[in-house]
Chain A
């Protein structure tokens, strides 16, 4: 009986030992997520062997605690030092860091904690209530849909680009070009340079992000006196309260971004980084004042942070219902399940199977979000003082952390070269008003788009109707996505024409 299973799960969670592992997981996750380059997969991988002595429920709770905590923790470095703690916090930088420069770091951190926790709470609740629907949705999203989701993200370049449109497109194309290094996954084409094995898997996009944002910003700060914050830094209850209010008064943005995170997160291969950009772009598109994004608009932080914690719930669906690793993090989670003798599959959602454990894990995530809220508002906001420290001290610390974190990504010396090169590129892109966001969208989505385009065309025998004909392949979702992309690209143009005709 489901209710009895649910109550059993609550009782299982409410033991001192289990709550301890949950708390430990979330706190470790926040710390790991806050360090540049060290994202949830690494945090979970470090913890993985330590879970062996634990029972299965505690082990999985510890792992998902790290996962959820690090998703939130990534925002700390993003807001304070313009460095993505995790790649899924990249969009948080766009407005979070400008807020820090304006002396509003505490407010931005408060928004991050509140939006992360609220989105985490309702998406986990939605997962508990609607998991059967989500499981079916995972099966409906195939290769063509994944390509179209990537294309949707790329088409957002038209929404988020400010200033010269041509420069935005050029930056996006340059980002795509970066992803052509190495081999395209399902295709037998080798695009290494100098036949180096180190370039076989291409240029790591997290290294690119760290270079573009952290290194470029430190280069810029080198010419600035004082701390990161250009004005007074106020860390008081009012600032924290402002952050809570900024979030609470935008329930639509929190809900929409959390759902985007959850749905895109449930698509294997897309994940938190993609959902982060999609949610941010949607917030820009829906805003009556889009030009303020990128210069410290709190809505940007709300959207980004709500989406990446929403992704946690979504990504669990393919992982535990089918054993499909949608991301590196869930791959380690599946490893953890197997290590403890648990087999991912529908039985994880069946009363006669492991539904009790699944409920316990999801309830633990619910409680974990409360931990994020309390810890985020009470302790993390104090870190805003970091923005007062003189840049003479901040710059070397950030650079060392960036290099260490980047090298730890793959133990690949190419990544060190990457952050230096893209640091310089990022510095000059900002100076000459090229859209860094458009460039990042290209870098993040290029691989996903290319590999899925190729495989989708292989399935269709080379015809493109697989992307738009809902009858030929029984893929109505492809049709919906294609229409959405077209509306996004040409909607404003058509609307403008219609308005002009009406005016005439």
Chain B
């Protein structure tokens, strides 16, 4: 039917786990003592003025060591200092982030549980999974965003040298002339699959053979090794690809400017409309619907301080990860109405709209 694979995944990890269980599993009775403490704090938890009186849980719907997880762990220390409470990162991986996101929608709306869910990747995945039990926009409330990432196109260096590929025009020409044939993407039915189809139909990137891989890591590996000529990599992974000396990032498919990292990188919007609605993701922090506004503002302010801290900014400069704070209003702008917009965009690009795309993905699979 479809795939739930997000570009976020620097890695595809098969491990979802909860720090609470780790410690209680290892330490036994300590967990019971902690639970007893939680019961005492129940009344305070309901009072936004007293927030926070207990530890917080920061849910990440991806595995440890992945892009979203790394961002959260970078922010964690300063965020804890600002909010005045200990914060546990809780990785709940599964179903392309939908398992953790669904879990977040079921938590108490008291501010003690927040999570990072990425717009618009989560919107795409939610729509592709045809989830009816909860709504990606109606059951979560954004409080801030803290970073941006998205797709670039990387090309194998030997291929680039042989065919003189250094921007989108030369890549497009190489495909049209059948000098090269293969393009790697991150699984049939994924957002990268749709993005590839849009590049073919709207931007004349006439590849002969789109090759699906099991996530971002394998796609990058395939380009590096020359198994496919070119493919998608997130801007963070593309730094790794370039460091390998075997591949080069040549096209930025996002709206955000990447010239600090790659001064010469081409932009897809030089060749047509922006594709940022599909290819760019914001790391948005959410709480369950009904969380008091004062609490959301506190959380947002703490995220702002953490994102702008020297240590995080230094990490950003060192690694190419884009750290960028957006307040509650800006986060809401990037969160609400996205599903409808996505439906309209896909409707305009693909026969049968989103359902047509899913049927096409299933047919190709």
Whether A334 lies near B11 (C-beta < 8 A) is yes
| Distance A409 CA – B319 CA, assembled complex (angstroms) | 30
| Distance A461 CA – B208 CA, assembled complex (angstroms) | 10
- Please tell me if B187 contacts chain A, counting CB pairs below 8 Å: yes
Whether B224 lies near A322 (C-beta < 8 A) is yes
Which of B89-97, B270-278, B346-354 contacts the other chain?
B89-97
Query: Which residue of A183, A190, A458 is within 8 Å of B211 (Cβ)?
Result: A458
| Distance A138 CA – B74 CA, assembled complex (angstroms) | 31
Given A48-B65, A408-B21, do A188 and B244 touch, yes or no (CB 8 Å)?
no
Whether A404 lies near B21 (C-beta < 8 A) is yes
Whether A347 lies near B188 (C-beta < 8 A) is no
Q: How many B residues are at the interface, by size bracket?
A: 35 or more
Q: A166-218: which have CB < 8 Å to B?
A: 183, 185-190, 197-198, 200-201, 204
- Please tell me if A35 contacts chain B, counting CB pairs below 8 Å: yes
A/B interface sample: 16 pairs, CB < 8 A: A139-B225, A142-B222, A188-B193, A190-B1, A197-B98, A200-B95, A201-B14, A269-B218, A323-B244, A328-B15, A335-B11, A341-B319, A343-B239, A345-B240, A408-B17, A409-B16
Q: How far is the CB of B12 from chain A (nearest CB, A)?
A: 8
Given A200-B4, A321-B244, A409-B15, do A459 and B25 touch, yes or no (CB 8 Å)?
no
Given A45-B15, A339-B73, do A455 and B212 touch, yes or no (CB 8 Å)?
yes
| Chain A residues within 8 Å of B182, by CB | 459
- Please tell me if A143 contacts chain B, counting CB pairs below 8 Å: yes
- Please tell me if A90 contacts chain B, counting CB pairs below 8 Å: no
Query: Which residue of B74, B91, B217, B362 is within 8 Å of A324 (Cβ)?
Result: B217
- Please tell me if B64 contacts chain A, counting CB pairs below 8 Å: yes
Residue of A42, A325, A336, A345 with most chain B CB atoms under a 10 A cut-off: A325
- Please tell me if A314 contacts chain B, counting CB pairs below 8 Å: no
0 or 1 for each of B218-235: is its CB under 8 Å from A? (1 = yes): 101110111110000000
- Please tell me if B170 contacts chain A, counting CB pairs below 8 Å: no
Whether B243 lies near A183 (C-beta < 8 A) is no
Please name the 5 residue pairs, one residue from A and one from B, whose CB atoms are nearest each other, closest first: A335-B65, A345-B243, A323-B240, A331-B11, A45-B64
Q: A36-64: which have CB < 8 Å to B?
A: 38, 41-42, 44-46, 48-49, 52
Whether B217 lies near A459 (C-beta < 8 A) is no
| Chain A residues within 8 Å of B66, by CB | 331, 335
Q: How far is the CB of B354 from chain A (nearest CB, A)?
A: 13
| Distance A465 CA – B214 CA, assembled complex (angstroms) | 22
Q: A334-362: which have CB < 8 Å to B?
A: 334-336, 338-339, 341, 343-347
Given A139-B225, A336-B65, do A325 and B94 touch, yes or no (CB 8 Å)?
no
Q: Interface on B for A, CB 8 Å cutoff?
A: 1-5, 10-19, 21-22, 25-26, 63-66, 69-70, 73-74, 76-77, 89, 91-96, 98-99, 102, 129, 131, 182, 187-189, 193, 209-215, 217-218, 220-222, 224-228, 237, 239-246, 314-315, 318-319, 321, 358, 361-362, 364-365
| Chain B residues within 8 Å of A343, by CB | 239-240, 243, 319
Q: How far is the CB of B316 from chain A (nearest CB, A)?
A: 10
Given A49-B76, A139-B224, A412-B16, do A338 and B98 touch, yes or no (CB 8 Å)?
no
User: DSSP class of A's interface residues: helix, strand, loop or mixed?
Assistant: helix
| Chain B residues within 8 Å of A143, by CB | 213, 222, 227
Beyond contacts A186-B214, A459-B228: 6 other A-B pairs, Cβ-Cβ < 8 A, are A35-B25, A44-B64, A142-B225, A323-B244, A335-B69, A455-B212
Residue of A35, A201, A338, A412 with most chain B CB atoms under a 10 A cut-off: A338
Closest to A190 in B: B1
| Distance A387 CA – B228 CA, assembled complex (angstroms) | 53
| Chain B residues within 8 Å of A347, by CB | 243
| Chain B residues within 8 Å of A338, by CB | 70, 319, 321
Given A185-B215, A451-B214, do A339 and B4 touch, yes or no (CB 8 Å)?
no
Residue of A48, A197, A339 with most chain B CB atoms under a 10 A cut-off: A197
